[in-house]
Structure 1
């Protein structure tokens, strides 16, 4: 296959004079050989190669009038238009042409000549861009010598061998129905809602660019993202002219104002549809769908196109390719009516696949009801200690953020679960070890305060949420041991969940004061509700296990191994958490005999404001959970409602959004 000379768009092209000289040299050399063999008529037998080459070069670089002048006939404008429309009809990123046949070596003759007639073979490679894989095929053209010059005999089949007179190319995308997301019992987590599909009939647009620019201008997504009018224009020009092309889906009742603006744009039409896009539970985790803007297309990649409905958050975004599959794309030839369509090439798409989660509908309903009455942002996450399954994810008033997984809060004395585990396993302490709980204590230059209590057992100090006790006991643990235990219990490690989650932050303490703050869950320590629920699960089962919420879709390479606690730590933690819920600050959550847990209400200053988060962290049977409420509220009361399965009453006062 012989490549074309390089043009100013990437291929070198010799100056016109040098090309002429080279042609003459070749002709003279050929004549010399023929004269030696007593053959005459060299000057009457010019090669058809220059005509073929110049036609293909002009077509490839977009000089369509020059290519048309290489053809026989007077309607050069019609030829120029036909060649120029190919890229638009295919929404092609590029068009490459070369002499010869694809897959054959350069020794194969590209031109067969018989007297004043000739046939040339060439290859076409079209980069369909967002429409899918490159399209490569063999092209051919017939030439005729007229007045001593070779000319191309124009026919639509030069564009593609199957293209006939009166036909045009078009790209048809067939998108399969999106797969659903299911709970652990196989029930869908999505339900259908009424919506509008806004779109156009491409062949009826008087001014496609003006219509699509107006559509992009009137469409505001996520407060500022826009559709790209140029990419929309390419999509419309390549679509079958007679078929309705959906470009944007808007929900009724939610996007009414925007829908009204779009309906007033000349050329924009709409259809009423029912689409399964609304989450029935855990919407912040399940995620939402929306139009494919330019930046979103960078995330999900081809073959999705501007305006396509794609996942924009949560599982819907993370598992976009699995849930949506990929469209089947066909290049077709069709007549002006669109009634007669012939497929020239088809690329089969991938079928969508369902995504199964570990969410338990009963536990999810209980979690939602427990937070329902609160007037401040709150999150709750529940896991199974026996295997790490996440069975409930509830977020209330979090403005669409999944703070149950991604919230970053100081844990306060609830972090004492980790501190106590470290003391039990490495310092020889038990829940009955004598401790003190002063109102104020200074360790390493840092001052800690608590509601003072009489001296007693470690269990009684823990039950009272005594930060000064934990700060004092930090002297029994060295920094390396503390950090090693935090790492064993997953803090700051990748869990390989396949969804965003904050795994906690415990920077290595630089001195005794920072170590004391870490033991008390203060300073630079931050945890998510999911991370705290895992600590409660480890205390309940005796083994820390990595969490998962997507069945069969975790990343084994990033998933840490389960870590078994020492027997002394297991017994000690159960004693502490049992005491805290029965007689301590968490006693409002004590509703069943095997329920255990602790509370904390750390405060900190951020942006000049004092913020508070109210925690409950505990378990009952094979259920461990954590609740974080932004503001002053009784997390223990909410925990009791969760365990009983009853809705929460309105409670709590806002302290601002604490999570970052």
Structure 2
């Protein structure tokens, strides 16, 4: 598709060139000869071009056709820069743009057409230097490419987050192939779907003694195709190990496949046969960094020896780099162990002081990206952490005594207590009701706070802010609160949607005293090398009111006590919450690690306790 677009563009340029040249030049000058030669060369009408030279017509046609094949060129474009005559001699200077295809840069150079009168007709004095000033008899063009091996994705300590996987490149050594190139290209095209002319162009444009990868396969497809490949005379296969087999967190790291005809057309990037393509996760988001771009050289070769004679142009390509994430392999292992004991759950752990994502776990119907980072789940009474910020700022004391009836109506909204909270009397304090998640007690405080206060506190904890990650994520949503009923539902988390990532950042904010936006990749800064300037900045960190933080720390210490989250050594802070009939939350921290756990039909606090215990036992 890319090559087709370039061909159309070349045709449009040709039309302009013809009009311009015809309008500018009149006989009896060399103008028509220059025009016809360059228009014929550009359009592929090599007979027209050859007819305007003094060389053997067939030999010139072949030289022009070979030049296009040897450069694997999508198009040529020409612009005459000067024309001068001295008696029966003339010369035309012209600018050349060669589109080398494969999304390489344009190759531009200055050419010279010497002309002379032959029996009263202006002719181009033919020699290989007409094609390029440095091309001589007995030489040819070639394009030498050097693709960069894929770089790994690594954790915060530089340890790879994937192992090696074998890829197999079917290709040729052109010198060994001889006159079997067309047959090999046709047969390889038939079994792989790659265009025959593209395969043949790659063969003919390459240095003869260098292996030219044409089609790349993963292990399974190679094994299924091996017998067919072996049957093609001249096709050889080389194995290349690339760091693409994802390790935990697998869905965050992402998967990789070999380049196919479909992905080659879709990407429109620097990929060539022999490359691998990210299909999901960070492998897909950072494809252009991990693969870089191919180093390309345009050279002349000696036809007899196949050795390089001259370097005409070189593009070093963009250097590919590893992608450094904030994942900690040891903490990720603890997360994997914790979710393994559940049927369906998601767990996100972040560094309390930075918002950096340390681990992402998921099990069953949950996935690491779609649910742990980007899931939209009811917040339930876990949102009382955020609501408490607004309440305390409005002078509602954690020591305020409240009833916890089985049922309560606030502004027409009905709230029902789920069971009798253990250890909570009918007139316990707000801190006790917060710790035990008494929805009827929490909802009763709706009139003590305004909608604007709740909205401001939600934003202070990142809910609804436009943070930026290289993968899909969800910062949460709080609806417009137009009544006491809406405010009561918000305090109880019934009309608020959040993700496990968002709630882990809420816990981290209380733990550190400042809310930070999430960070997953520290280097490079942008998934797209071309978009580093265009991307919107991350939201700024938001410090908590010290008075609120002190109160919330005590409330979340009380929330973790007596739960299965406090299963190991050291103090755990948090709150256990319900969200509907199936989901439970635990949102809290221990030491430097803040966590949010969402479990379906399972005790999220127990999962958090397992995570903290595994973390204490890790290296």
TM-score between the two structures when normalised by the length of structure 1? 0.79
* Shift in Å, 1:535: 0.8
Indicate which of 195, 203, 211 corresponds to 1:244. Answer: 211
Q: Which residue of 2 aligns with 1:169?
A: 141
Q: After superposing the two structures, state which structure 1 stretch, 406-415 or 305-314, moved more.
A: 305-314
Q: Do the aligned partners of residues 279 and 15 (structure 1) sit closer, same or farther apart at CA in structure 2, a change above 3 Å counting?
A: closer
- Indicate whether 1:50 and 2:32 are aligned: yes
Pair 53,485 (structure 1): closer, same or farther in 2 beyond 3 Å: same
Q: Retained in 2: the 8 A contact 1:372–1:647?
A: no
Counterparts of 2:312 and 2:13, CA distance in 1: 32
2:377 pairs with 371, 396, 409, which one? 409
Per the alignment, residue 626 of structure 1 pairs with 596
Counterparts in 2 of 1:577-656, with a 5 A limit? 577-583=556-562, 586-603=563-580, 612-629=582-599, 631-645=600-614
* 1:599/1:126 CA distance change after superposition, 3 Å: same
Cα shift readout 1:396-451 (whole Å, capped 9, x = no counterpart): 3456745332222222111221112221122x223221223333333344333332
After superposition, residues 216-615 of structure 1 pair within 5 angstroms as: 216-217=192-193, 235=202, 238-240=205-207, 243-252=210-219, 255=221, 259=225, 263=229, 266=232, 269-292=236-259, 302-305=269-272, 308-335=275-302, 339-342=306-309, 343-376=311-344, 378-397=345-364, 398=366, 401=369, 403-426=371-394, 428-453=395-420, 454-523=426-495, 525-551=496-522, 553=524, 558-583=537-562, 586-603=563-580, 612-615=582-585
Cα deviation 1:104-140 (Å, max 9, x = unaligned) = xx5xxx234453x444332211133434222111222
Inter-CA distance 553–647: structure 2 relative to 1 (3 Å threshold): same
1:534 shift after superposition: 0.8
User: Which runs of 5 or more structure 2 residues have no equivalent in the other structure?
Assistant: 1-10, 421-425, 527-534
Alignment partners' CA distance in 2, 1:7 and 1:451 = 73
Deviation larger for 55-64 or 243-252: 243-252
Structure 1, unmatched stretches of 5+, are 1-5, 25-45, 101-105, 218-226, 605-611, 649-660
The CA distance in 2 between the partners of 1:437 and 1:529, in whole Å, is 28
Q: Per the alignment, do residues 547 and 403 of structure 1 end up closer, same or farther by CA in structure 2, a change over 3 Å counting?
A: same
- Whether 2:182 is the aligned partner of 1:206: answer yes
Decide whether aligned partners of structure 1 residues 446 and 93 sit closer, same or farther in structure 2, where only a CA change above 3 A counts: farther
Distance 1:127 1:385 in 2: 52
- Alignment partners' CA distance in 2, 1:48 and 1:588: 90
How far apart are residue 588 of structure 1 and its match?
A: 4.8
Cα pair distance change 1:599/1:7, threshold 3 Å = closer
CA RMSD of aligned residues (A): 3.5
The total of aligned residue pairs comes to: 587
Output the CA distance in 2 between the equivalents of 1:481 and 1:306.
58
Is 1:10–2:15 an aligned residue pair? yes
Q: Please tell me whether the aligned partners of residues 156 and 163 of structure 1 are also in contact (alpha carbons under 8 angstroms).
A: yes
Q: Distance in 2 between matches of 1:543 and 1:8?
A: 59
Larger deviation, residues 546-555 vs 60-69: 546-555
Task: Please tell me whether the aligned partners of residues 436 and 576 of structure 2 are also in contact (alpha carbons under 8 angstroms).
Answer: no
CA distance in 1, matches of 2:305, 2:368: 44
Question: How many Å apart are 1:205 and its aligned residue?
Answer: 3.5
In 1: Cα distance, 2:604 partner to 2:283 partner: 31
What residue in structure 2 maps to residue 83 of structure 1? 64
Confirm or deny that 1:122 pairs with 2:122. no
User: What CA deviation, in whole Å up to 9, does each residue of 1:549-577 have, x standing for no partner?
Assistant: 32355589622222222233223222322
Q: CA distance change for structure 1 residues 337 and 547 in 2, over 3 Å: closer, same or farther?
A: farther
Q: Structure 1 residue aligned with 2:45, among 63, 79, 84?
A: 63
C-alpha contact (below 8 Å) 2:247/2:253 kept by paired residues: no
Please name the residue that 1:192 is paired with: 164
Q: Take 2:552 and 2:20, find their aligned partners in 1: how far apart are those partners?
A: 86
Taking the aligned partners of 2:262 and 2:379, their CA distance within structure 1 comes to 36
Deviations 1:330-373 (A, max 9, x none): 11223557731243211122323333222223212211221234
Q: Distance in 2 between matches of 1:237 and 1:518?
A: 68
- Distance in 1, matches of 2:231 and 2:383, equals 58
1:130 match: secondary structure: coil
How far did 1:307 drift? 6.1
Distance 1:632 1:452, change over 3 A: closer
Work out whether residues 249 and 290 of structure 1, in 8 Å CA contact, stay in contact via their aligned partners in 2.
Answer: no
Q: How far apart are the structure 2 equivalents of 1:449 and 1:269?
A: 72
SS in 1 for 2:399: coil
Change in 2 beyond 3 A, CA 1:62/1:206: closer
